[in-house]
Amino acid sequence: MNSTIDRLRKQIGTDRVVTDQSDIQPWLSDWRGLYHGAALALIEPRTTAEVAEVVRIARETGTPLVPQGGNTSMVGGATPDSSGTALILSLRRLNTIRRIDRDARMAVVEAGVILQTFHEAAEAAGLRFPLTLGARGSATIGGLISTNAGGTQVLRFGTMRGLVAGVEAVLPDGQIYDGLTALKKDNRGYDLTQLLIGAEGTLGVVTAATLRLVPAASETASAWIGVASPHRALDLLRSMEATSGAAIESFEIIPAHDLELVLEHIPGTRRPVATPSAWHVLIDYVGHDATARLTAMIEDAAGRGLIEDATIGANGAQAAAFWRIRDSISEAERAAGPTLAHDIAVAVDAMPEFIESAGATVEARFPGVTVSAFGHLGDGNVHFHVNAPKGTDAATWRSNPGAAISTLVYDLVTQAGGSISAEHGIGQMKLDAFARTGGTARLAALRAIKQGLDPHGLFNPGKLIPPLAPATGAP
Amino acid sequence: MNSTIDRLRKQIGTDRVVTDQSDIQPWLSDWRGLYHGAALALIEPRTTAEVAEVVRIARETGTPLVPQGGNTSMVGGATPDSSGTALILSLRRLNTIRRIDRDARMAVVEAGVILQTFHEAAEAAGLRFPLTLGARGSATIGGLISTNAGGTQVLRFGTMRGLVAGVEAVLPDGQIYDGLTALKKDNRGYDLTQLLIGAEGTLGVVTAATLRLVPAASETASAWIGVASPHRALDLLRSMEATSGAAIESFEIIPAHDLELVLEHIPGTRRPVATPSAWHVLIDYVGHDATARLTAMIEDAAGRGLIEDATIGANGAQAAAFWRIRDSISEAERAAGPTLAHDIAVAVDAMPEFIESAGATVEARFPGVTVSAFGHLGDGNVHFHVNAPKGTDAATWRSNPGAAISTLVYDLVTQAGGSISAEHGIGQMKLDAFARTGGTARLAALRAIKQGLDPHGLFNPGKLIPPLAPATGAP
């Protein structure tokens, strides 16, 4: 092992190879504290060539690599196992915005650039990068690509998959793949960029990407709307889309249960509308004359009985207050007691029925729990949370009945033709569920691709690909 | 071999296994007559389960499979080799449109459905499928997916890659992968749908797909515009995009050389505008008040000196006449003499400069030839044709100096960071050029993926993946 460290130090510099365990410590656990691992060292290359050197040495010494960006994985995807044999390959020092091309609306950005930093750079160029999420202050471009991140603007602009025009990556054989030139058409075989998006670092390391930008938002208006049910919320979305085209950028649903938890547990929050409703919708409209147009659409929807109450954020502070409620749901739930998070997707039109029927099934099977499905209704993706009865002991509840609850939720999603991971990925958390629900054809194909590209299994081992023997011990 | 045929007959029916060589004959050559092969039999399964049976028998007997749709490949991608050991796996009988969902704007379509048939079905449902190309009367959905087809509406709607929401496929291990449920978010590992798009049948057989539809066109207006250069044409496109958003669906450029060839060789064509220009642009504007808006944009462009002359198709017949000129270019060139076709791409902003500099280089190096670059300027994709001097003998010219000319063109494209195959694929025609220009990282990754998924190399052997020893004999 020492020879591995020595070689790394010689090739990329002593200061780029961190072996002091107290310095490595913060990167050995995921941010929610669910996973803990160990590592031989933390490697911090500054260039793509240095990443390739690291990969070459890892290959020659048979050393596993765990790529890591902002360490904000929701599924333990960037935490090494407990063996201590792996290197954490941090991309955080590879953090240059190489180029922003205003005319072509493209940027070439290295993997370690933090999302918020890139937002600010795009804004300074009179453009914007239309993907955002709660962890934007820590999450890196490389991690967002490797997990095909989503967030709250997917409705209009899609996930990272739609925003990446090309990648540069170091492949498991140590070669640098340069796919940064943005070609609108390119039919030279399998699309390696698409293959690396969402591969969770198991097929190589993304070192940079060409990203699409869009014009700066002309004007934004936000609304908080009370509706009777998820069905009415989807009717509202369809009605608004028919008149506004692509101007609706966010369409989030929030059940009354979560609104009440936020009001109870998050200081400084207040009820947006007076009328109590079973469900709420938070909308961002972006475009010319946003406030007037959104107001007109809401009045039209009210006239047709689609909504129960509504208010429009008349200034930035009001809109920020709406979004603070939305973004505080998980924190409020945690303050109230143990909760199980499930990031799931079904076809958009099937989601209202799924929320109601699956929610009823779970609540009937596990008396006392409260199902809270909130988030991206327009994407067919909600965070299907199951909150424990009041006063439950967290330590035991998460495994029993927690594991059985999650199994039920994932089975219901799979029966509905949906996905057990809409935007968070598989990581290590969902390996068991993926092994059970993924289907033999898909799992065999994933294993075959992994075997072809990373035959020694050195890239992020123990993530994404369920082992052939059943995995155990997922929290 | 007889046992293979016997087993196939037993499993999927005698009438689905064609061994009479005169019946097979039409499917043994590509439509341009450049490639000729032989086959053990032509297999015509009617269901996905039957395709899986064929794959199972092929695996067990080690029999190569050549998937085939409408047999309209431009690169010999569907023609078997001359050994006669392969089965042609025709998808043409798998031709049911399983479902069109108007609300979700999605259709589930089997691989053998012909593009034009699907256009008509979408139209009958009040929608449209926004991808079209010259071979629409023969090309099948499966072939369009497997080649990531483009065409003349890519500017707005993208290639097949952007229109496929999911696929059903029989993978090389014989398992059926069902990815037909359209999920807007799904992060369960490598995206198999994206991997199969453009894989040219080398990683399995696409049997059906879920395809996105768009609203029927409200109103279409077409214009024929004379411009001084490809640079001015791109300026015109950028100017129109800034005011019209996504309403410009087609933006094709045509050099004067090709217009004159069409007028000379294609009966019934006539000059659209009186003023001679070095270059021409053909535009389709689709949207509300199309004729008035397109007229206003053209007047604005004229006022700023971007254009030399223009006419708007005041009725469908005039627009059809413009498109007839565009669609007749290849035929007119062939009538005039031998021509070498190169389907190439560079970054959109780099294309005007590439057309001029690469054209000058080729014409200087090979005196007497005429370079004609026409097509999809807005996609950074032109058909870079090199026409032989008048009176050249076709048989010898295509190989000498033809091969050297193509080598030069592909090297120039590669130096410009572009693609030697924008929309036609690699097939067997471009194997040598791909081996030379593809880059070791990309080629190694493609081979590794192929090896992982199709370890016995039974799926469309001799296509897309250059052999490790240099290939020879491409025409």
- Give me the CATH number covering residue A255: 3.30.70.2190
Tell me how far apart the alpha carbons of residues B344 and A187 are, in angstroms, rounded to a whole number. Answer: 10
A191, B161: Cβ pair inside 8 Å? yes
- Asked if residue A367 and residue A349 are part of one domain, the reply reads yes
Cis peptide before B401 (omega within 30 of 0): yes
Distances (CA, A) of A51 to A44, A47, A115, A203: 9, 6, 21, 14
- List, as ranges, residues 62-121 from A with C-beta within 8 Å of B: 103-104
pLDDT digits (tens, 9 = 90+) for A206-220: 999 999 999 888 899
pLDDT digits (tens, 9 = 90+) for B109-121: 999 999 999 999 9
Question: Quick one: DSSP state of residue B225?
Answer: E
Task: Please indicate, yes or no, if residue A443 is contained in any of the structural domains.
Answer: no
- The last residue of a domain, from among A331, A349, A384: A331
- The last residue of a domain, from among B192, B215, B238: B215
Task: Identify the closest residue of chain A to B380 by CA–CA distance.
Answer: A184
Q: B422: which chain A residues are within 8 Å (Cβ-Cβ)?
A: 183, 185-187
Contacts of A316 (CB under 8 A, 6+ apart): none
Q: A445: which chain B residues are within 8 Å (Cβ-Cβ)?
A: 171, 173, 177, 190, 192, 453
Q: A453: which chain B residues are within 8 Å (Cβ-Cβ)?
A: 445, 448-449, 452
Cis peptide before A401 (omega within 30 of 0): yes
- Closest Cα of chain B to A265: distance in Å? 31
The token pair that represents B221 in the structure block? 């207006």
Task: Identify the closest residue of chain B to A195 by CA–CA distance.
Answer: B190
Q: Is B449 on the interface with A (CB under 8 A)?
A: yes
* Straight-line distance from the first to the last Cα atom of chain B, in angstroms, rounded to the nearest whole number: 31
Task: Identify the closest residue of chain A to B450 by CA–CA distance.
Answer: A452
Task: Identify the closest residue of chain B to A453 by CA–CA distance.
Answer: B448
Task: Please indicate, yes or no, if residue B456 is contained in any of the structural domains.
Answer: no
pLDDT digits (tens, 9 = 90+) for A69-103: 999 999 999 999 999 999 999 999 999 999 999 98
Pick from A419, A448, A450: CB nearest B186? A419
- Name the pairing type of β-strands A87-90 and A65-68: parallel
- Asked if residue A230 and residue A320 are part of one domain, the reply reads yes
User: At A403, which amino acid appears?
Assistant: A
- Closest Cα of chain B to A21: distance in Å? 32
A380, B147: Cβ pair inside 8 Å? no
Find, among A28, A4, A30, A29, the residue nearest to A17 by Cα.
A4
pLDDT of residue A218: 80
Tell me how far apart the alpha carbons of residues A16 and A32 are, in angstroms, rounded to a whole number. Answer: 27
Tell me how far apart the alpha carbons of residues A258 and A372 are, in angstroms, rounded to a whole number. Answer: 7
- Asked if residue B284 and residue B256 are part of one domain, the reply reads yes
- Asked if residue A245 and residue A146 are part of one domain, the reply reads no
CB B186 within 8 A of CB A421: yes
Classify each residue of B162-191 as buried b or exposed e, where b means 16 or more C-beta atoms within 10 Å of its C-beta: bbbbbbbbbbbbbbbbbbbbbbbbbbbbbb
Which runs of consecutive H residues, i.e. helices, occur in B208-328?
230-244, 256-265, 290-303, 316-327
A195, B194: Cβ pair inside 8 Å? yes
- Asked if residue B230 and residue B206 are part of one domain, the reply reads no
Tell me how far apart the alpha carbons of residues A437 and A282 are, in angstroms, rounded to a whole number. Answer: 32
Q: A201: which chain B residues are within 8 Å (Cβ-Cβ)?
A: none
A177, B440: Cβ pair inside 8 Å? no
- Asked if residue B323 and residue B352 are part of one domain, the reply reads no
Query: Is the pLDDT confidence value at A244 over 90?
Result: no
Q: Is A178 on the interface with B (CB under 8 A)?
A: yes
Task: Please indicate, yes or no, if residue A389 is contained in any of the structural domains.
Answer: yes
Q: B348: which chain A residues are within 8 Å (Cβ-Cβ)?
A: 104, 184
B171, A197: Cβ pair inside 8 Å? no
**Which structural domain, as residue segments, surrounds residue A120?**
97-215
Which runs of consecutive H residues, i.e. helices, occur in B374-439?
394-397, 402-415, 431-437
Residue A166, H or E segment = strand A164-170
Write the CATH number for A43: 3.30.43.10
Name which of A153, A164, A188 to mutate to probe chain B: the one with the most chain B Cβ atoms within 10 A of its Cβ: A188
Tell me how far apart the alpha carbons of residues A22 and B180 are, in angstroms, rounded to a whole number. Answer: 49
- The last residue of a domain, from among A331, A355, A382: A331
B186, A425: Cβ pair inside 8 Å? no
pLDDT of residue B472: 54
- Closest Cα of chain A to B346: distance in Å? 6
CB A66 within 8 A of CB A201: yes
Write the CATH number for A383: 3.30.70.2740
A185, B161: Cβ pair inside 8 Å? no
CB B385 within 8 A of CB B372: yes
Task: Please indicate, yes or no, if residue B439 is contained in any of the structural domains.
Answer: no
Strands (E), A19-105: 41-43, 65-68, 87-90, 97-101
Find, among B296, B301, B322, B309, the residue nearest to B226 by Cα.
B309
Burial of B201 per CB tally in 10 Å (0-12, 13-18, 19+): buried
CB B406 within 8 A of CB B342: yes
Sheet of A65-68: strand order equals A17-18, A41-43, A87-90, A65-68
B189, A442: Cβ pair inside 8 Å? yes
A453, B449: Cβ pair inside 8 Å? yes
Query: Is the pLDDT confidence value at A243 over 90?
Result: no
Task: Please indicate, yes or no, if residue A205 is contained in any of the structural domains.
Answer: yes
Task: Identify the closest residue of chain A to B433 by CA–CA distance.
Answer: A188
pLDDT of residue B405: 98
Tell me how far apart the alpha carbons of residues B48 and B71 are, in angstroms, rounded to a whole number. Answer: 20
- List, as ranges, residues 353-412 from B with C-beta within 8 Å of A: 376, 379-381
Task: Please indicate, yes or no, if residue A438 is contained in any of the structural domains.
Answer: no
Sheet of A97-101: strand order equals A97-101, A106-110, A205-212, A164-170, A176-178
Tell me how far apart the alpha carbons of residues B431 and B286 are, in angstroms, rounded to a whole number. Answer: 39
Tell me how far apart the alpha carbons of residues A146 and A160 are, in angstroms, rounded to a whole number. Answer: 9
pLDDT of residue A470: 53
A150, B185: Cβ pair inside 8 Å? yes
A199: confidence class by pLDDT, cuts 50, 70, 90 = very high
Task: Identify the closest residue of chain B to A184 by CA–CA distance.
Answer: B379
A419, B188: Cβ pair inside 8 Å? yes
Tell me how far apart the alpha carbons of residues A216 and A127 are, in angstroms, rounded to a whole number. Answer: 4
CB A2 within 8 A of CB A19: no
The token pair that represents B72 in the structure block? 């309209």
Q: What percent of chain A has pLDDT over 90?
A: 89
- Asked if residue A178 and residue A105 are part of one domain, the reply reads yes
**Greatest CA separation found in chain A?**
74
- Asked if residue B283 and residue B182 are part of one domain, the reply reads no
A177, B147: Cβ pair inside 8 Å? no
Name which of A185, A415, A464 to mutate to probe chain B: the one with the most chain B Cβ atoms within 10 A of its Cβ: A185
The token pair that represents B267 in the structure block? 């009966």
Q: Is B424 on the interface with A (CB under 8 A)?
A: yes
Task: Please indicate, yes or no, if residue A475 is contained in any of the structural domains.
Answer: no
Half-sphere exposure of A116 (CA within 13 A, CB side): 8
Tell me how far apart the alpha carbons of residues A31 and A78 are, in angstroms, rounded to a whole number. Answer: 10
Name which of B185, B194, B453 to mutate to probe chain A: the one with the most chain A Cβ atoms within 10 A of its Cβ: B185
pLDDT digits (tens, 9 = 90+) for A303-356: 999 999 999 997 889 999 999 999 999 999 989 999 999 999 999 999 999 999
Find, among A58, A107, A226, A189, the residue nearest to B441 by Cα.
A189
Contacts of B211 (CB under 8 A, 6+ apart): B106, B107, B108, B109, B118, B129, B141, B163, B164, B165
- List, as ranges, residues 236-265 from A with C-beta within 8 Å of B: 238
pLDDT of residue B243: 83
Tell me how far apart the alpha carbons of residues B66 and B80 are, in angstroms, rounded to a whole number. Answer: 6
Residue recorded with tokens 């409020």: A332
Task: Report the number of distinct structural domains present in chain B.
Answer: 4
Tell me how far apart the alpha carbons of residues B52 and B147 are, in angstroms, rounded to a whole number. Answer: 21
- Asked if residue B192 and residue B103 are part of one domain, the reply reads yes
Write the CATH number for B146: 3.30.465.10
Distances (CA, A) of B259 to A171, B271, B311, B325, B373: 47, 8, 15, 7, 12
- List, as ranges, residues 125-164 from B with C-beta within 8 Å of A: 147-148, 150, 154, 159, 161
- Asked if residue B225 and residue B135 are part of one domain, the reply reads no
Pick from B179, B190, B349: CB nearest A446? B190
Name which of A148, A170, A190, A414 to mutate to probe chain B: the one with the most chain B Cβ atoms within 10 A of its Cβ: A190
pLDDT of residue A472: 54
B441, A177: Cβ pair inside 8 Å? yes
The token pair that represents A321 in the structure block? 């207050």
Contact pairs from chain A to chain B, CB under 8 Å: 219
pLDDT digits (tens, 9 = 90+) for A386-396: 999 988 888 79
Q: B159: which chain A residues are within 8 Å (Cβ-Cβ)?
A: 185
Tally the residues of chain A: 475
Tell me how far apart the alpha carbons of residues B430 and B423 are, in angstroms, rounded to a whole number. Answer: 12
Residue A175 phi, psi dihedral angles, 5° rounding? -85, 150
The token pair that represents B254 in the structure block? 């045509």
pLDDT of residue A298: 96
Q: Strand, coil or helix: what is B41? A: strand
Q: B384: which chain A residues are within 8 Å (Cβ-Cβ)?
A: none
Q: Is B199 on the interface with A (CB under 8 A)?
A: yes
A379, B348: Cβ pair inside 8 Å? no
Would you state the torsion angle of the CA atoms of residues B197, B198, B203, B207, taken in this order, to the nearest 10 degrees?
A: 50
Distances (CA, A) of B218 to A173, A189, A321: 52, 36, 40
Q: Is A418 on the interface with B (CB under 8 A)?
A: yes
- Name the pairing type of β-strands A381-387 and A343-345: antiparallel
pLDDT of residue A474: 47
pLDDT of residue B470: 53
A177: confidence class by pLDDT, cuts 50, 70, 90 = very high
Find, among A375, A372, A311, the residue nearest to A345 by Cα.
A375
Task: Please indicate, yes or no, if residue A261 is contained in any of the structural domains.
Answer: yes
Half-sphere exposure of B356 (CA within 13 A, CB side): 11
Residue recorded with tokens 């050249």: B392
CB B371 within 8 A of CB B386: yes
Tell me how far apart the alpha carbons of residues A325 and A11 are, in angstroms, rounded to a whole number. Answer: 49
Strands (E), A291-403: 309-312, 339-340, 343-345, 370-376, 381-387
Q: Is B338 on the interface with A (CB under 8 A)?
A: no
- Asked if residue A190 and residue A107 are part of one domain, the reply reads yes
- Asked if residue A73 and residue A8 are part of one domain, the reply reads yes
Q: B466: which chain A residues are within 8 Å (Cβ-Cβ)?
A: none
pLDDT digits (tens, 9 = 90+) for A10-39: 999 999 999 999 999 999 999 889 999 999
Contacts of A422 (CB under 8 A, 6+ apart): A150, A343, A344, A345, A376, A379, A380, A381, B183, B185, B186, B187
pLDDT tens digits for chain B (475 residues)? 569 999 999 999 999 999 999 999 999 999 888 999 999 999 999 999 999 999 999 999 999 999 999 999 999 999 999 999 999 999 999 999 999 999 889 999 999 999 999 999 999 999 999 999 989 999 999 999 999 999 888 999 999 999 999 999 999 999 999 999 989 999 999 999 999 999 999 999 999 999 999 988 889 999 999 999 999 999 999 999 888 878 999 999 999 999 999 999 999 999 999 999 999 999 999 988 999 999 999 999 999 999 999 999 978 899 999 999 999 999 999 899 999 999 999 999 999 999 999 999 999 999 999 999 999 999 999 999 999 998 888 879 989 999 999 999 999 999 999 999 999 999 999 999 999 999 999 999 999 999 999 999 999 999 999 998 655 544 4
